[in-house]
Amino acid sequence: MIETVATTPFDDQKPGTSGLRKKVTRFQVPHYAANFIQAIFDAAKPDGGETLVIGGDGRFFNREVILTAIRMAAANGYGRVVVGRSGLLSTPAASNLIRKRRAAGGIILSASHNPGGPDGDFGIKYNIANGGPAPEKITEAIYRHSLAMTEFRIIAQTAPDISKLGETRLGDMVVEVVDPVADYASLMETLFDFGAIRELLASGFRIRFDAMHAVTGPYAKDILENRLGAPAGTVINGEPLEDFGGGHPDPNAVHAKALIDELMVKGGPDFGAASDGDGDRNLIVGRGVVVSPSDSLAVLAANAHLAPGYAGGIAGIARSMPTSQAADRVAQKRGLGMFETPTGWKFFGNLLDAGKVTICGEESAGTGSDHVREKDGLWAVLLWLNILAVRRESVADILSAHWAEFGRNYYQRHDYEEIDKEAAEGLMESLRDRLASMAGQRFGTLVVSEADDFSYRDPVDNSISTGQGVRIVFSGGSRIVFRLSGTGTHGATLRVYIERYEPDAARHGEAPQRALAELIQTADAIGEITKRTGRTAPDVVT
Ligand code: G16
C-alpha cells in the first residue's frame, strides 16, 4: 500500500558541488531525508518501471536512508531497485552499475571525504542515466521541488533485508541486492593488464593501500590481493566502518600521514595509495615522493596508452579550472583537446558523453576516464600500477622525467576551514569588485596580466555556469585562484590555489612552498585573507 505523507518544505536543500551535504543530525530531522528524496524523484519523473541504483559509502545513517529510499522508490513508479549488499557501493561502482543496468539513475549516499559517525556528515546525491552526477539544470529542479514540497510517497511495507544477495518484491517493484565489488572488478580487468601488474608485484615491488576504513576496503582487497596477488595485509584499514574508525577519510597529507610517512623511509614500500569515504578520490605516493593530484592527472594522461584500455590513445583531457595546468602541457605537446571546466565532476559528463575527452581530473584528488562518469580512486591506482609495470621505473623517476619533458607546474592549495561565512563572502565580493582594475597592478616582481571570475559555457549543451572562482593571472602564466568550497557543512572553507610554471629542469627540485613563496605572500595581500578572516596560516596545504 502506498502512503502519502504530508510534509513541509526545508529551505536548505540546495545541492552543492556534489549533492546535498549536511551534518547527520540535520538529516535525522523527521522528513528531512524523505523530502529531499521525493524532490529527486519529482525532478527525475520516472515514467514507470525504470531501474534505480542505490548505494552508499557505509557511513552512519546509510542503512536507514537506503531503506527509506527503497520504500519511496517503490511508491514513485520505479520497477527495480539495484542495491549493493548491506547498502555498500563505491561511487564509481554505482556509476558503473547505472550504466551497465541501463538504469534511469542512481542515489548515492555519501559525504565523501567528510568525517562520519553520529556527529559527522551525511550526503545524498543523484546521478543520471549516463552514470554521472546530475547536471546543474537537474540539481536546480531538485532544489525547486524541495522548496515546494507538501507530501512524499512511501510504501507501507518494510524494506527487505539488504544484507542477502538476490531478488525480492516490494509492492510492484523488484529489489535486487548485488555484490558491490564483482561488476566493478570485472570492468577494471578489461582496462588494465592484470598479468603485467601481477608480474610486477611478484618481482618484489611492494605496495600499500590505505582504505581508511571506508568503502574501498572490499574492492581493494578483491582486486589488489585476490586478483593481482599482492600479499595479504597490503590493504590496511580495509574494513568499512560507520565512523571510519574515528578517522577522517580524506586521502591527503594530513589524514593519510601515516601512509605517507611509511613511504618516506628508506626500505619502505615502492608505491602507496589511499582512497576516500566513497572511493572516488585517490592519493598516490611513491617512495620518497607524494604525487600531487594535478601532476598525477598529467602523468596518467601522458602514459595512458601503456594500458590496454587506452592503447588506441586518448581523445582529450579535461580538468577543473583550479587544477594546475600541467595536463595542458601534455595536451599541447600531444595535439590533444583540452577543456577547462568549473569545479565538480558533473561538468565532465557532457564532454565524456560526446567523446571529446577520455581522461579528466581535479586538484581535489580526483582522476577518472570515460569508463564511468565519476572520478575513480582505484582506477587511478591501477593505471599507475599498469604504467609502473610497463616502464619499470620508480614513481619518483617517472615524475622527474615527466617534468623534464613538459616542465613543472609548481602547485599548492591552501584551505582555510570553518571560517566565518560572512567574512568569506565579503572576501570574495571584494575581490570581484576589484577585478576590473587589477590588470597591470604590480605585486613585488609579479604583474597582473588578467583577472576574472570564471564562467563556463558547456561546449555540448551551451549551458552557462557563472561565478566559479576568481582567477588572477600574472605575466609569465603564474596564477592565484580564490573560491569557496561547495562541499563543507560548517561555516565556509576558502580555497586558495597557487601555481607557477618552471620550464628549467635544473630548477625542478625545489620544495613547492619555496618555489611559490612570492605568490603565497601575494595571495594574502590581494585576498586580504588575514585581515578579513583573522587567520594567519591555512589549516590544510595540499
Ligand atoms: C566533490 C566533487 C569534486 C570537487 C570536490 C571539491 O568531490 O565531486 O568535483 O572537486 O568535491 O569541491 P569543493 O572545492 O567545492 O569542496 P567529492 O570527492 O567530495 O565528492
**CB-based contacts of 252-259 (< 8 A; 24+ apart in sequence):** 252/283, 252/365, 252/540, 252/542, 253/290, 253/540, 253/541, 253/542, 254/540, 255/212, 256/210, 256/212, 256/283, 258/210, 259/208, 259/210, 259/283, 259/285
Whether 163 and 211 map to the same domain: the answer is: no
To test the pocket of ligand 1, the residue of 110, 321, 364 to mutate (highest count of ligand atoms within 8 Å of its CB) is 364
Of 286, 303, 413, nearest to 369 by C-alpha is 303
**Whole-angstrom Cα distance, residue 449 to residue 351?**
29
Give the nearest ligand 1 atom to 375 CA: 8
- Inter-residue contact 238 to 217 (CB < 8 Å): yes
What pLDDT, in 10s, does the model give residues 105-134? 999 999 999 999 999 999 999 999 999 999
Mutate to test the pocket of ligand 1, among 20, 297, 362, 415 (most ligand atoms within 8 A of CB): 362
Q: Count CA within 13 A, CB hemisphere, residue 498.
A: 23
- In DSSP terms, which residues pair with 482 in a beta bridge? 470, 496
For 538, phi then psi, to 5°, come to -70, 155
Is residue 494 within 8 Å of 482, Cβ to Cβ?
Answer: yes
pTM of the model: 0.95
The pLDDT of residue 519 is 96
Asked whether residue 194 falls in the same domain as residue 152, the answer is no
> What is the pLDDT of the chain when averaged over all its residues?
96
For the CA of 276, the closest atom of ligand 1 is 18
The proportion of the chain whose per-residue pLDDT surpasses 90, expressed as a percent, equals 95
pLDDT, one tens digit per residue, over 385-429 is: 999 999 999 999 999 999 999 999 999 999 999 999 999 999 999
Q: For a pLDDT cut of 70, what percent of the chain falls above it?
A: 100
What mean pLDDT do residues 189-193 have? 98
Give buried/exposed letters for 301-317 (b at 16+ CB in 10 A, else e): bbbbbbbebbeeebbbb
- Considering the domain architecture, whether residues 317 and 450 belong to the same structural domain is answered as no
- What CATH number has the domain bearing residue 170? 3.40.120.10
Residues 273 and 333 grouped into a single domain: yes
**Pocket of ligand 1, beta carbon within 6 A:** 17-18, 112-113, 276, 280-281, 320, 343-345, 362, 364, 366, 485-487, 495
Residue-level pLDDT at 254: 87
Count the neighbouring beta carbons within 10 Å of the beta carbon of residue 450.
Answer: 14
Domain boundary among 406, 425, 443: 406
Last residue of some domain: 389, 406, 423? 406
Range name among 211-215, 226-230, 250-254, 277-281 with the lowest pLDDT average = 250-254
Cβ-based burial of 338 (10 A; exposed 0-12, middle 13-18, buried ≥19): middle
CA 471 to chain centroid, in Å, comes to 22
By annotation, the residues acting in catalysis are 112
Cell digits of residue 425: 563572502
- Residue among 17, 276, 319, 351 to mutate when testing ligand 1 (max atoms within 8 A of CB): 17
Quick one: 287 and 353 in the same domain? yes
Q: How far is the CA of 404 from the centre of ligand 1 (A)?
A: 30
Identify whether residues 250 and 376 lie together within a single domain: yes
Residues 274 and 284 occupy one common structural domain: yes
Q: pLDDT class for 21, splitting at 50, 70, 90? A: very high
User: In a 3-state reduction of DSSP, which class is residue 362?
Assistant: strand
Is the separation of the CB atoms in 147 and 162 below 8 Å? Answer: no
Report H helices in 225-287. Answer: 257-264
pLDDT at residue 101 above 80?
A: yes
Q: What is the CATH number of the domain that holds 421?
A: 3.30.310.50
Residues 425 and 328 in one domain: no
State the residue range of the domain holding 363: 184-406
Q: Cα-flanking dihedrals φ and ψ of residue 478, to 5°?
A: -65, 150
Indicate the number of domains in the chain: 3
**pLDDT at site 262:** 97
Residue 490 pLDDT > 90, yes or no?
no
Q: How many whole angstroms from 344 Cα to the centroid of ligand 1? A: 6
For residues 320 and 366, the answer to whether their CB atoms sit within 8 Å is no
CB 438 within 8 A of CB 335: no
Q: Whose CA is nearest to atom 1 of ligand 1?
A: 18
Same structural domain, 359 and 285: yes
pLDDT, residue 171, reads 96
Taking phi over 0 as left and psi of -120 to 50 as alpha, with beta for the rest, 444 belongs to left
CA dist 323 and 362 (Å) reads 5
Residue 143 in contact with residue 2, Cβ under 8 Å? no
Point out the ligand 1 atom lying closest to the alpha carbon of residue 277. Answer: 18
Q: How confident is the model at residue 17, as a pLDDT?
A: 83
Same domain (yes/no): 393, 503: no
Domain end among 119, 147, 180: 180
Q: How far is the CA of 275 from the centre of ligand 1 (A)?
A: 14
Indicate if 168 and 209 belong to the same structural domain.
Answer: no
Residue position matching grid coordinates 623517476: 397
Task: Please report the atom of ligand 1 found closest to the CA of residue 364.
Answer: 10
Cell numbers 595512458 label which residue?
Answer: 304
pLDDT in tens, 242-276: 999 998 999 998 899 999 999 999 999 999 999 99
User: 279: how many CB neighbours lie within 10 A of its CB?
Assistant: 34
Look at residue 491 in the predicted model and tell me its pLDDT: 87
Q: How far is the CA of 40 from the centre of ligand 1 (A)?
A: 20
What number does the ligand 1 atom closest to the CA of 91 have?
20
Report CA(346)–ligand 1 centroid distance (Å): 10
- Examine the pLDDT at 486 and tell me if it is beyond 90: no
Same domain, 414 and 524: yes
Q: What residues have CB less than 8 Å from 377, skipping those under 6 apart?
A: 90, 92, 216, 251, 273, 275, 276, 279, 280, 281, 282
* pLDDT, tens digit (0-9, with 9 covering 90-100), for 22-73: 999 999 999 999 999 999 999 999 888 999 999 999 999 999 999 999 999 9
Say if residue 488's pLDDT is above 90.
no
- Please give the pLDDT value at position 471: 97
| Distance (Å, whole) CA 327 – CA 9 | 44
pLDDT number for residue 277: 96
- State residue 434's pLDDT score: 94
Residues 427-448, mean pLDDT to the nearest whole number: 94
Mean pLDDT of 323-340: 97
